[in-house]
Amino acid sequence: MKAHRMVLAAMLMAGALLAPVRARGAQILTKSRQRFTGQIVEETPENITIATASGKVTIPVTDIQMLVRDTVTEKPKIVPEVIQPAKAEEAFEGAKTAITQQEWAKAGCLLAGLLQLPATVFPQEKRLAATAALVTCHLQIKDAKGAAAVFRQRAGLVLSESDKKRLLATADALEQADTPTGLDAAWQFVQTYEDAITAGMQWKTDALLEEAKTVGDNATNLNTWTWMQRAAEAILAKLNEGDLYTPGFSGLHREEALSPLADNAILGAEKAVETCTTERKLTITPYYLTSASSVDSGRIYNEYATRYLARRQAAEDALANIERLAKDYNVPEIHGKRKEKIDALKKSLEELRYHLMVPGMPRQLLIALRRVGSQF
């Protein structure tokens, strides 16, 4: 019995050693849904190397869907240090030294404390330098929200409205990058004030481009030129706004942003061709053939034909507006790249001007309203 208990104890001990324990440390989830847990031992702009229980794994940054850093190790924090006015210059020099030595949290605490002093003690030119350096300190310790707050603080120091907008856009971008699961992978290597500005401008222009394309996707009544023109002007306004963040942006993306208008118009024309083809077969031609001898059929035919003719004409007008859009806004590619599809739709719409040929019909007749009770 004693020997049995000893064997059982040994088995339990072995089981305890072999039982899975909850992994602690950083986690990387790839775009192919593979998960790696361990300690990050090396980071470059191209790759992240994580030491796992089964060895080191190097993962390209472009393959990373999500990165969660080790939550067990307490992150350094930047808390404003209380600085006496008489010690302001000494603290400023101390912050410079700490940055040189890459003591980011220490430098950040000093800079944040200096920024709480009145402007008479810590003047404007130094405040601007301090906010830029403080942003870098926050980014070095992966504190995106802290960096965003400093960008907003800096925006309050500048006089230029365009500078304010650029700084606030970067703050917005940083706040978006700080997700509940960690810093967005695209921002993992944003480590300085200048890096953040560059990434922030890219984020803002990307957002404006998506907003511009959404205008085109959601545009309606594109068979009416004034409606298409109104949508095009709204799109260009978004692009022009982007020039503040990246000069030349509007010219580079003009075709891309206006293209959804053309695609939207083509989609509407395709649906019109499909609907008209069905209606012509099921209602237009059959009711036309019986309308000469039946007043009721004549009325019904005219109701169907009115809607049919309006739908067909709207599709034709929308396609014509694509050509006008390309010409008026100097983007010939918008029409040129879609010419084959547009020409095919025009051909179908031309055929849909006429009734289907049926036995006894002397020639193909133009679809038009008719006088009820008349043979014509």
Q: Report the side by side order of strands in the sheet with 64-68.
A: 55-60, 47-52, 35-43, 26-30, 64-68
Residue 2 pLDDT > 50: no
Q: pLDDT by residue (tens digit) across 308-329?
A: 999 999 999 999 999 999 999 9
93-102 CB contacts, 8 Å cutoff, 24+ apart: 95/130, 95/133, 99/133, 99/136, 99/137, 102/140
Q: In angstroms, rounded to a whole number, what is the distance separating the alpha carbons of residues 130 and 133?
A: 5
**173 domain-assigned:** yes
Q: Same structural domain for residues 324 and 242?
A: no
Classify the C-alpha dihedral 311-317-323-327 as positive or negative.
Answer: negative
Q: Same structural domain for residues 89 and 187?
A: yes
Q: In angstroms, rounded to a whole number, what is the distance separating the alpha carbons of residues 254 and 256?
A: 6
Q: Same structural domain for residues 321 and 288?
A: yes
**369 domain-assigned:** no
8 Å CB contact between 208 and 241: yes
Taking alpha carbons only, the member of 358, 334, 47 closest to residue 216 is: 334
8 Å CB contact between 284 and 312: no
Residues 6+ apart with CB under 8 A from 171: 148, 149, 151, 152, 155, 200
Mean pLDDT, residues 123-130 taken together: 95
Rg (CA), the chain: 34
| Positions of E strands within the chain | 26-30, 35-43, 47-52, 55-60, 64-68, 178-179, 182-183
**361 domain-assigned:** no
**1 domain-assigned:** no
Q: Decide: residue 26, CB within 10 A, 0-12 exposed, 13-18 middle, 19+ buried.
A: buried
Q: pLDDT by residue (tens digit) across 220-244?
A: 999 999 999 999 999 999 999 999 9
**24 domain-assigned:** no
Q: In angstroms, rounded to a whole number, what is the distance separating the alpha carbons of residues 190 and 183?
A: 10
Residue 247 CB coordination number (10 Å)? 10
Residue owning tokens 């980011």: 104
Provide the pLDDT confidence category of residue 179 given band limits of 50, 70 and 90.
confident
Q: In angstroms, rounded to a whole number, what is the distance separating the alpha carbons of residues 189 and 207?
A: 21
Q: Same structural domain for residues 129 and 213?
A: no
Mean pLDDT, residues 213-221 taken together: 97
Q: Same structural domain for residues 93 and 161?
A: yes
The residue among 44 and 115 whose pLDDT is bigger is: 115
- What pLDDT does 74 receive? 64
Q: Same structural domain for residues 158 and 237?
A: no
8 Å CB contact between 66 and 33: no
**144 domain-assigned:** yes
- What pLDDT does 311 receive? 98
Q: In angstroms, rounded to a whole number, what is the distance separating the alpha carbons of residues 191 and 136?
A: 6
Q: Same structural domain for residues 45 and 134?
A: no
Q: pLDDT by residue (tens digit) across 70-111?
A: 755 567 899 999 999 999 999 999 999 999 999 999 999 999
Residue 215 pLDDT > 80: yes
Provide the pLDDT confidence category of residue 372 given band limits of 50, 70 and 90.
low
Owning domain of residue 133: 85-191
Q: Same structural domain for residues 138 and 211?
A: no
Q: pLDDT by residue (tens digit) across 9-26?
A: 343 333 333 333 344 578
**199 domain-assigned:** no
% residues pLDDT > 90 (the chain): 70
Total count of domains within the chain: 4
Q: What is the mean pLDDT of the chain?
A: 89
Q: Same structural domain for residues 279 and 233?
A: no
- What pLDDT does 364 receive? 84
Q: Same structural domain for residues 208 and 275?
A: no
Q: pLDDT by residue (tens digit) across 253-267?
A: 999 999 999 999 999
H or E segment to which residue 174 belongs? helix 161-177
Say if strands 55-60 and 64-68 run parallel, antiparallel, or are unpaired. unpaired
Give Cα 150 distance to the centre of its chain: 25
Q: Decide: residue 334, CB within 10 A, 0-12 exposed, 13-18 middle, 19+ buried.
A: buried
H or E segment to which residue 9 belongs? helix 2-18
CATH code (residue 179): 1.25.40
Using N-to-C axis directions, what is the helix angle for 225-245 and 161-177, rounded to 10°?
Answer: 90
Q: Which two tokens stand for residue 183?
A: 């810093």
Q: Same structural domain for residues 114 and 36?
A: no
Provide the pLDDT confidence category of residue 165 given band limits of 50, 70 and 90.
very high
Q: Same structural domain for residues 317 and 334?
A: yes
**240 domain-assigned:** yes
